[in-house]
Structure 1
């Protein structure tokens, strides 16, 4: 489908239908909806003209009320602003639903090949076919749902979006009308912050409604293509889960919440099994299967509706009885309905008795604190003597004794110490009830040295685990630019440590390493972050190959390009020979979960994209994907120029002050979307290093400046041109999928920027020059990326996405004007306490709609 045809289809299937159903929404029999809907087009046009004229938010808002004073009494002005926010929130939901309903028609699926293209490519080529089958034996994709606080839709609204999308697909006008009425009356705000268990319940909705059927359907497609038995295939799509397990910087995650989430996942899974079993039971009514069906009925029902606090692993029992039913059907009933049994068998093999692997994560500082507590309390039993803390890193690695013993903590232990030791013991119980894969990974964030991993390994041995049965993968997380630089040396120290080497051999010589994008972007800027991660992957792969280790990269990617998101699959498709790519593992965060995996169609498409990327990078790597030394040097030089530019901005004393003054940063903690604090050390003064990357990126996106997604790129490209290296950069863009994706994702960030919105700041005595510096880098970057890509407009080669972004930005412009107006009113210090509360609510309410509309802004 050519670009112009794609645009035409999008306008027809999305824009026209959105306008049609938005008109229907305006006619709902609620006065507030109708009155607000009548005024909103005038308000939107007024905001657009005001921004184009570079007016400040007060001038825009006050001139609107002056122009339409006959329609809005002065006493009702703030109320109207709240109603505009509520109306636009629902417009965003409607646009989401219309766009998702048209997903198959808008031409996105032909942007890159799916699995069918891989199968076709290898169909008549035996060598390639063999290579693909071999790859499938080793390859896996793991999607890990995280609890990061950018999932702004409450459960009831998600359900409405799902139902509305299905009604729109069928053009069921009556149902659409009813759902729009429901949407008009359903609250979008949560009255209190969710607990980690609440977050788990919210995300489990996606496991149950989307991932459960989609993962099975994709596995079935692979099995059918290669004629693999459903009960003997290797699992291709795996799921991971962080709510309830990720305690890094979140004191609300406790051992009790971890236990409850593990049980919750198991119970929800068995209810999925029970629903499928009821269908199977209605069809398989033949002789010879009764006793097997009775056993399954009992197992599925009891685990669904009368779950035990200490359940047993039922996978073997379920699998055995399903296989026996399958045998009876084949031997005595002509294989009738055997495909239903295969479907359930496939799901049991995929999800076992746990649904998704519950990852445990904690910061290295807490691990050190916990190790010190046990070491000092039980000096006579641990065998570690002397002042351990004063030892250098090499001496620490030699000092570990790795004695297996059972050393409990006492009431005087710090809460974080008690939680760490308790969850180490709990993991054994979770594995007992769900199997090893139920909880097999402990991730150490801020990992800086090999002893961080070794201390955690020793804590397991001090908590009742035995060396020979330590079925845990210890996963270091490297994130800052400095940590990424040291990562290979840290891993070499582990690979050569006798006890860790023995443990790794016991785990099949497979090592998972997590690389985080969010903090590296905050730390080093967009280009340096991406390049640092790429270099780290090359170095870590070389180190793993040297020691014959099967390396798995687990990428901590967020929603926007500034946190590693964007066209994620293109990164995996462009990994050259120097980077291990046998397994793809990545986090799915925030509103990316609902936007990319919120429906069957979108989830199937995005999972296929990732699988396609992983498989094609193996069977058909492009020459340009493995960078030459010359190209590496070019990117490295540009990354350092970009880094210098970003640091000059970040180290400016106005940097954080600017964010605090003009963005809703300090209001994010008032939003009831997450159990996790906005920043670490929440009781202390704000420091950049404590500020969570999500809050950092969200603040910039609300300003429509998206600094972490582009700043420094223009300066780097300008440097290359001045050095006479422009033709080399162009060749790099045309031949390296990795570099092209970095640039294309940068353009996506810039497409969601609008410096006109804040142009009034350039007149500010304190911050004017600071704003101009950012605006100039934006214009420089825009000029150079357009020149590099041969485009006239940003994202020219992605017309559907470009058009979608433009419409969404138009929808939320009034929210941004209201937000900035409210922030400036709060800074006048002229408001009463009551008015301060009102304007604070205006700010927080606008954040929801802006982030939801952006789909990958936070």
Structure 2
């Protein structure tokens, strides 16, 4: 069936050209203008010869895509350049990708705004979800669903953001000028000035080092993540709630809101110490303090801003009795401050009160205990006091306007911004307990105890919400959960902090045993106590990265689905309100992909209005880097969470799962067999290290966390973390973790299968291609698996991948990978009915195909460096250093071009 795969691959350049030709005029204009601006900067700084070389490579890779040049000819051209010239060319293409990404982001924002006409709900919006739920459930049941709705995104510091922060901020400044340049109401001088400023910033981007020269420490990662809060999240959250409230009922400006604050951010940044010795108790303490500084500053500024606008004259808007009494108490307790505010705002009691509240928030930030708030609840009481007074005075629009936004922000972020979660490996806890019982504790065990004491300190300072979840990776039994509670007793005795210990199931075997482990957890007194206190709430984390690395994408997808279904049934049988925490990566090989589709593909009953997920690395800035995109992302996820919890969607998914269960098992079994036959073959880890930049990734200084467990080259995949595994395959243009084995799995579902006794006359017919197509149309899980594989295949380039695979000196491995690629590509197209990859997703297809030639250019530069570094023979220290610089620059640029790393 795979016989015509090569011919199909030969037709792809025509398809790529046709898709690129469909680029919208606005996007084409921005890409051209930014590209020309970069070309001007390159010529000014590096001379016309450098620009000419960049153009020569650009035209060559485009010609190679059209089969007008061979990849060998392109490689020969790149090999002619001195290393320093190759480095400069790599810098040029990397900068270009940053600008193309920016242009596409701006175009996406324009499209989102143009579609939101108000005439009908946008697809995947809150308004659409509420409309569908009203029709299916009625108002009463809808109110219950909204009351139980939860979305918990958890920011993680997994090292997948390849850009330096200085580069990211330079791009943001260019973005601001591009928005100014394209603003429809700007005159010619204003556009000219915006273009001048844009050139200035592009010039600065060119002069900015693309590579980090020092390794990030965990607090650097905390501060980097704070940029998303400062610039986007704080302002976006109330807009989300307002959109939900408007969908629920009309005239939101003159009534109490029906929407509640349902988003709670979490963070592993500064708390995740599994395999990262750089995260200590001191780091965790500093991380919480940094978060608190940012959120308290934001609340203070917002309260001051709103307070200054509340010029409600007492004669027209008489304050309520409770507010008058509160102002009198403030005069007694803080006479100087209260008098100053009264003098500045005479006869404006609501303004006086809110400015007094702002002063108290500032005191909380400064730790001025005489004036500070003790908790966010106290602040909420004061804000609601002001709101109630304005309602009583008839100023309902002011009461339910900006004040309500501020209330929602406090409810969402508190004084801690995001709940800091601690994660540690189960074996660390077991070793610590053994040492404590033996009476001899190591430095690492002391650090475990110090971490628990730090959790207690955080809770005392900021409340239990600030830090109570303790994730145990590689949970194998209830004993792994009990160990954390026992360690807490050793650390603090009766003063142990409130802990919700969360098991993390990652391997295929652990996922299969997860329900049995939870049953054992129910017998633990500490768990019973927490269930009683929390309304029988329990959280379980599922690891997508390691399961996919172990089993391959198809088998891992089914294994995770089965675990979700079993855990949902277990929770129902044990009267548990279960929240599944999805440890998904940004890349497709780690459970990534469109978040809304991922929610709808979950097992029926496993969502139940609650969704918790990791937001990792480059995904944080892709989804939360701009308010309009953040708003859309959160809307899409919420829409999916609401719809996934409805009886109709659950019923359709359950019926499809039952109907195609045997089919999925056949696909998964054959897929895992094919995947393991490659990844578990003798010599495979060593070969992988040769054909990819795996060994050099540590020099890229992506994050504070080591790339692998232990020292030296990986002896097996178990030694290698999932992130560099996926990152490295993306660099080789193979993207193997996102699709490998699926082709063999789909083929097994179409071919006759031997009977159990292996007799040739008893073969069982395969279900056939038509059933696979029906499963793709009817079962969200299967559709998600195929769509994600299709996306990963679209980012694969067979010709360039073959050049990387040849570096390892194992033609058997290379041929096996390419044969599986051909088979998978052909069968994915057959199942979807597409003539080419991503045919039905034109926007994504255009984005991939627009970048392809330019990623090719960087791949050729990277191949030159990688081949030279892998070749036998001596290199001078200078040449080796320059080759490594070229390699890492190309890694950085390919990551920007593909828009995903790990």
* Structure 2 equivalent of residue 243 of structure 1: 269
Contact kept? 1:445, 1:476, Cα under 8 Å: yes
Match of 1:198 among 217, 220, 232: 220
Deviation at 1:232, TM superposition (A): 8.5
Task: Tell me, in whole angstroms, the C-alpha distance in 2 between the residues paired with 1:126 and 1:522.
Answer: 40
* Structure 1 equivalent of residue 12 of structure 2: none
Deviation at 1:224, TM superposition (A): 3.8
* Structure 1 equivalent of residue 60 of structure 2: 46
Match of 2:680 among 636, 647, 651: 651
Contact kept? 1:654, 1:767, Cα under 8 Å: no
* Structure 2 equivalent of residue 130 of structure 1: 140
* Structure 2 equivalent of residue 453 of structure 1: 481
Task: Tell me, in whole angstroms, the C-alpha distance in 2 between the residues paired with 1:100 and 1:533.
Answer: 33
Deviation at 1:739, TM superposition (A): 0.7
Deviation sequence 1:306-343 (CA, Å, 0-9, x none): 789x9974313322222232234334473463322211
What SS class does the counterpart of residue 858 from structure 2 fall into? helix
Alpha-carbon spacing, 1:581–1:269, altered in 2? closer, same or farther (3 Å): same
Answer yes or no: is 1:500 the counterpart of 2:527: yes
Alpha-carbon spacing, 1:259–1:814, altered in 2? closer, same or farther (3 Å): same
Deviation at 1:488, TM superposition (A): 1.3
* Structure 1 equivalent of residue 395 of structure 2: 334
Task: Tell me, in whole angstroms, the C-alpha distance in 2 between the residues paired with 1:106 and 1:9.
Answer: 15
Match of 1:677 among 687, 694, 706: 706
Deviation at 1:107, TM superposition (A): 6.7
Deviation at 1:235, TM superposition (A): 2.4
* Structure 2 equivalent of residue 400 of structure 1: none
Task: Tell me, in whole angstroms, the C-alpha distance in 1 between the residues paired with 2:62 and 2:683.
Answer: 29
Task: Tell me, in whole angstroms, the C-alpha distance in 1 between the residues paired with 2:542 and 2:615.
Answer: 14
Answer yes or no: is 1:223 the counterpart of 2:264: no
* Structure 1 equivalent of residue 104 of structure 2: 99
Answer yes or no: is 1:632 the counterpart of 2:675: no
Alpha-carbon spacing, 1:336–1:652, altered in 2? closer, same or farther (3 Å): closer
Contact kept? 1:200, 1:243, Cα under 8 Å: yes
What SS class does the counterpart of residue 838 from structure 2 fall into? coil
The CA RMSD measured in Å over matched residues stands at 2.9
* Structure 2 equivalent of residue 119 of structure 1: 130
Between 457-466 and 822-831, report the one with greater CA deviation. Answer: 457-466
* Structure 1 equivalent of residue 613 of structure 2: 586
* Structure 1 equivalent of residue 206 of structure 2: 184
Deviation sequence 1:402-459 (CA, Å, 0-9, x none): xxxxxxxxxx632221111111111111112222111110000011111000111121
Task: Tell me, in whole angstroms, the C-alpha distance in 1 between the residues paired with 2:77 and 2:175.
Answer: 38
Contact kept? 2:162, 2:901, Cα under 8 Å: no
* Structure 1 equivalent of residue 634 of structure 2: 607
Deviation sequence 1:738-771 (CA, Å, 0-9, x none): 1101100000110111120033467779411211
Task: Tell me, in whole angstroms, the C-alpha distance in 1 between the residues paired with 2:391 and 2:686.
Answer: 72
Match of 1:476 among 503, 506, 521: 503
What SS class does the counterpart of residue 349 from structure 2 fall into? coil
Task: Tell me, in whole angstroms, the C-alpha distance in 2 between the residues paired with 1:800 and 1:99.
Answer: 10
Contact kept? 2:485, 2:526, Cα under 8 Å: no
* Structure 1 equivalent of residue 549 of structure 2: 522
Between 709-718 and 152-161, report the one with greater CA deviation. Answer: 152-161
* Structure 1 equivalent of residue 794 of structure 2: 751
* Structure 1 equivalent of residue 328 of structure 2: none
Answer yes or no: is 1:37 the counterpart of 2:51: yes
Contact kept? 1:353, 1:433, Cα under 8 Å: no
Deviation sequence 1:802-840 (CA, Å, 0-9, x none): 110112222221111111111111122231122112212
* Structure 1 equivalent of residue 293 of structure 2: 267
Contact kept? 1:192, 1:672, Cα under 8 Å: yes
Task: Tell me, in whole angstroms, the C-alpha distance in 2 between the residues paired with 1:602 and 1:776.
Answer: 39
* Structure-to-structure mapping, 1:655-666, within 5 angstroms: 655-666=684-695
Deviation sequence 1:781-806 (CA, Å, 0-9, x none): 11111010110011111110011011
Contact kept? 2:596, 2:640, Cα under 8 Å: yes
What SS class does the counterpart of residue 649 from structure 2 fall into? coil
* Structure-to-structure mapping, 1:22-421, within 5 angstroms: 22-28=35-41, 30-32=44-46, 35-49=49-63, 60-64=74-78, 77-106=82-111, 112-122=123-133, 125=135, 127-170=137-180, 171=182, 172-226=194-248, 234-286=260-312, 287-289=348-350, 292-304=353-365, 313-332=374-393, 334-335=395-396, 337-338=398-399, 339-377=401-439, 413-421=441-449
What SS class does the counterpart of residue 289 from structure 1 fall into? helix
Contact kept? 2:160, 2:702, Cα under 8 Å: yes
Alpha-carbon spacing, 1:420–1:640, altered in 2? closer, same or farther (3 Å): same
Contact kept? 2:241, 2:260, Cα under 8 Å: no
Contact kept? 2:360, 2:373, Cα under 8 Å: no
Task: Tell me, in whole angstroms, the C-alpha distance in 2 between the residues paired with 1:475 and 1:774.
Answer: 38
Alpha-carbon spacing, 1:808–1:416, altered in 2? closer, same or farther (3 Å): farther
Task: Tell me, in whole angstroms, the C-alpha distance in 1 between the residues paired with 2:38 and 2:450.
Answer: 52
What SS class does the counterpart of residue 86 from structure 2 fall into? helix
Deviation at 1:231, TM superposition (A): 8.4
Deviation at 1:579, TM superposition (A): 2.8
Task: Tell me, in whole angstroms, the C-alpha distance in 2 between the residues paired with 1:761 and 1:618.
Answer: 45
Answer yes or no: is 1:737 the counterpart of 2:811: no
Task: Tell me, in whole angstroms, the C-alpha distance in 1 between the residues paired with 2:367 and 2:206.
Answer: 37
Answer yes or no: is 1:437 the counterpart of 2:461: no
* Structure 2 equivalent of residue 779 of structure 1: 822
Between 329-338 and 316-325, report the one with greater CA deviation. Answer: 329-338
Task: Tell me, in whole angstroms, the C-alpha distance in 2 between the residues paired with 1:819 and 1:358.
Answer: 38
Task: Tell me, in whole angstroms, the C-alpha distance in 2 between the residues paired with 1:508 and 1:237.
Answer: 19
Task: Tell me, in whole angstroms, the C-alpha distance in 2 between the residues paired with 1:201 and 1:790.
Answer: 46
Alpha-carbon spacing, 1:571–1:128, altered in 2? closer, same or farther (3 Å): farther
Contact kept? 2:686, 2:715, Cα under 8 Å: no
What SS class does the counterpart of residue 704 from structure 2 fall into? coil
Deviation at 1:61, TM superposition (A): 4.1
Match of 2:879 among 812, 835, 845: 835
Between 492-501 and 234-243, report the one with greater CA deviation. Answer: 492-501
Contact kept? 2:303, 2:355, Cα under 8 Å: no
Contact kept? 1:230, 1:346, Cα under 8 Å: no
Alpha-carbon spacing, 1:418–1:635, altered in 2? closer, same or farther (3 Å): same
What SS class does the counterpart of residue 660 from structure 2 fall into? helix
Alpha-carbon spacing, 1:34–1:375, altered in 2? closer, same or farther (3 Å): farther
Alpha-carbon spacing, 1:520–1:324, altered in 2? closer, same or farther (3 Å): same
Deviation at 1:25, TM superposition (A): 2.0
Match of 2:851 among 787, 808, 812: 808
Deviation at 1:622, TM superposition (A): 5.9
* Structure 2 equivalent of residue 561 of structure 1: 588
Answer yes or no: is 1:710 the counterpart of 2:739: yes
Between 236-245 and 37-46, report the one with greater CA deviation. Answer: 37-46
Contact kept? 1:13, 1:105, Cα under 8 Å: no
Deviation at 1:52, TM superposition (A): 7.7
Alpha-carbon spacing, 1:765–1:806, altered in 2? closer, same or farther (3 Å): closer
Answer yes or no: is 1:545 the counterpart of 2:586: no
Deviation at 1:57, TM superposition (A): 8.0
Deviation at 1:65, TM superposition (A): 6.3
Contact kept? 2:275, 2:706, Cα under 8 Å: yes
Deviation at 1:9, TM superposition (A): 7.3
Alpha-carbon spacing, 1:365–1:88, altered in 2? closer, same or farther (3 Å): same
Alpha-carbon spacing, 1:762–1:567, altered in 2? closer, same or farther (3 Å): closer
Contact kept? 2:804, 2:863, Cα under 8 Å: no
Contact kept? 1:57, 1:821, Cα under 8 Å: no
Unaligned runs of 5+ in 1: 67-73, 378-411
Contact kept? 2:476, 2:510, Cα under 8 Å: yes
Match of 1:789 among 832, 837, 842: 832
